[in-house]
């Protein structure tokens, strides 16, 4: 039972490079989320999706784009990476409103 799988687990980028983080869930959940975790800041919502083909902005969306072409996948893109985007990124999913979210193990991203 994989749950929520994030790839890659680690990545180092240079400023200005682009990349895509992949989140896949096998629980048939409608809702998916991308968070970033920074020291002393807790988890902050970047973007979320309430179903296939939908996306919405969270608290800190600038510099990121997302897509949800398939129900099981939620992609987070950085078009032009900046050092301020160095963080640990977590993907989560849930099946209904006000239900616990299931998290992946995170992607540690460093931008030099």
Partner 1 sequence: DQQVKQNSPSLSVQEGRISILNCDYTNSMFDYFLWYKKYPAEGPTFLISISSIKDKNEDGRFTVFLNKSAKHLSLHIVPSQPGDSAVYFCAASEASGTYKYIFGTGTRLKVLA
- Under 8 Å between Cβ of 2 and 100: no
Interface ranges with partner 1 (CB under 8 A):
4, 31, 35, 40-45, 48, 50, 58, 90, 92, 97-98, 100-106
40: region left, alpha or beta (phi > 0 left; psi from -120 to 50 alpha) = left
- Closest CB to partner 1 among residues 2, 14: 2
In angstroms, what is the minimal distance from the CB of 33 to partner 1?
A: 8
- Closer CB to partner 1, 14 or 100, in the complex: 100
Burial of 29 (0-12, 13-18, 19+ CB in 10 A): buried
Find the shortest distance in angstroms from Cβ 16 to partner 1: 28
Shortest distance (Å) from residue 56 CB to partner 1: 8
Pair 39, 29: CB distance under 8 Å: no
17 versus 44: smaller Cβ distance to partner 1:
44
* Burial of residue 99, with CB atoms counted within 10 A of its CB: 0-12 exposed, 13-18 middle, 19 or more buried: exposed
Closest to partner 1 by CB, 64 vs 90, is 90
Quote the least distance from Cβ 92 to partner 1, whole Å: 8
């Amino acid at each position: 039972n994989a749950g929520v799988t994030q790839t890659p687990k680690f990545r180092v980028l240079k400023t200005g490079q682009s990349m895509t983080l992949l989140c896949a869930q096998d629980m048939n959940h409608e809702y998916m989320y991308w968070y970033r975790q920074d020291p002393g800041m807790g988890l902050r919502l970047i973007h979320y999706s309430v179903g296939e083909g939908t996306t919405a902005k969270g608290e800190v969306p600038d510099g990121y784009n997302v897509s949800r072409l398939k129900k099981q996948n939620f992609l987070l893109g950085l078009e032009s990476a900046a050092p301020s985007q160095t963080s640990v990124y977590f993907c989560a999913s849930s099946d209904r409103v006000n239900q616990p979210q299931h998290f992946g193990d995170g992607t540690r991203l460093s931008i030099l």
